[in-house]
Amino acid sequence: MAAQKKTSQKKALITNTLSKPALLDMVAEGKTLKQIAEHVNQLIPGLDANPYYLCKTLQQWPEEYSAAKKAQAELHAGKLSEIAERVEQGTLDPASARVSSDNRKWLAARLNPSEYGDRVAVDTTVLDVTSLHLEAMRTAMRTVNGSKVD
């Protein structure tokens, strides 16, 4: 119980020092929770904020936090074209560019899997043709036996 109180006190201090939009903007700008925690600790000496407390704080706003992470994914995806241009201009080694590009693609896929993920979602509808087949067979049998078809 004491740990939960301490956590809620830290979350309150963080949100009182930095506004909700400021925290979410830092996430959208590509800052890690560790970097944000270091920034908060500079603003509030002695707070000892860490990524865990920031994660708990940001989870108070699930929709906004998710949108900020998607914006961060867009940031990483957008930098891929910059990396490609630098390789074409000869200012970046292709091997280094490959490592950087692979890392950014991985980050984008984890932050926004619906847009940049490797998995393809396939919607399928399973149609049980057994009942259709049986109905067709009954109709055919009625026609063969001379019965009236409904």
Per-block mean pLDDT, blocks of 10 residues, the chain (150 long)? 63 72 89 87 79 82 90 91 93 93 91 83 78 86 66
148: in domain: no
CA angle 105, 107, 112 (to 5 degrees): 95
Total domains, the chain: 1
**Residue 111 lies inside a defined structural domain of this protein:** no
Domain membership flag for residue 80: no
Whether 54 is in a domain gets the answer yes
**Residue 116 forms part of a structural domain:** no
Per-residue model confidence (pLDDT) at position 59? 85
Kindly state whether residue 9 falls inside one of the protein's structural domains: yes
Question: What was the pLDDT predicted at 149?
Answer: 47
pLDDT at 124: 79
Give the per-residue pLDDT at 52: 82
| Residue located via tokens 């929709």 | 63
Is 74 within the bounds of a domain?
no
The pLDDT of residue 136 is: 87
CB 20 within 8 A of CB 43: no
Residue with tokens 């400021």: 22
Domain that includes residue 46, residue range: 1-60
